[in-house]
């Protein structure tokens, strides 16, 4: 974002489905850490929604993206939750097959803008910067307020399922 340029919050509604359909292929969607955790851990309340979302997306609706930093966080939380290093690693191996790791440039183009970002959390600022830099069509998260300044549209998993026409 250029100096002095004001953040514009874009909160798409179901009316934006046509706009998503017209975007250049492949449409790429970023899944935030909380959605990845919901997908992997069947004990989490939003597991079914995340599972349906990931399956809908990998079956052709869009290409999935997850920042490398999210994999680190997911691993840490799963290892503690499961109490098993091998089980946490196995879940991550499966996740990598359907949600490719996208590098965050901690040495340059992502770090500096994230430090001065208006996002309330540094990790969220890195995710936002990655989504903007990569030209992604959406960030899917259960914490939309974390990306309030993003120019990339932000959706709750249920909203995005509805947008895809698969509902909840």
Q: What is the per-residue pLDDT across 68-112, written as a single tens digit (0 to 9) for each?
A: 888 889 999 999 988 888 988 888 888 887 776 665 555 555 555
Residue numbers of the domain that contains 82: 34-163
CA atoms within 13 A on the CB side of 61: 20
- C-alpha 99/C-alpha 121 separation (Å) is 23
Domain assignment of residue 159, yes or no: yes
Domain assignment of residue 26, yes or no: no
- What CATH number does the domain containing 140 carry? 3.40.50.1010
The domain tally of the chain equals: 1
Q: Report if pTM > 0.85.
A: no
Domain assignment of residue 101, yes or no: yes
CA neighbor of 94 nearest in space, from 143, 151, 54:
54
Domain assignment of residue 2, yes or no: no
Residues of the chain with pLDDT under 70: 1-26, 100-122, 166-168
Which H or E run contains 151? none
- C-alpha 103/C-alpha 111 separation (Å) is 12
Domain assignment of residue 89, yes or no: yes
Q: Please say whether the beta carbons of 140 and 160 come within 8 A.
A: yes
């Amino acid at each position: 974002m250029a100096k002095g340029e004001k953040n514009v919050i874009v909160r798409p509604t179901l009316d934006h489905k046509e706009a998503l359909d017209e975007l250049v292929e492949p449409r790429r969607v970023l899944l935030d850490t909380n959605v990845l955790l919901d997908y992997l851990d069947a004990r989490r309340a939003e597991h079914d929604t995340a599972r349906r979302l990931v399956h809908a997306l990998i079956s052709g609706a869009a290409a999935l993206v997850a920042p490398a930093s999210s994999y680190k966080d997911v691993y840490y939380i799963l290892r503690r939750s499961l109490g098993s290093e091998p089980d946490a690693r196995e879940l991550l191996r499966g996740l990598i097959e359907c949600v490719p790791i996208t590098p965050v440039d901690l040495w340059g183009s992502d770090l500096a803008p994230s430090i001065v970002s208006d996002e309330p959390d540094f990790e969220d600022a890195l995710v936002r910067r990655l989504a903007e830099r990569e030209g992604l069509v959406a960030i899917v998260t259960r914490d939309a307020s974390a990306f309030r300044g993003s120019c990339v549209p932000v959706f709750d998993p249920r909203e995005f399922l509805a947008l895809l026409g698969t509902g909840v």
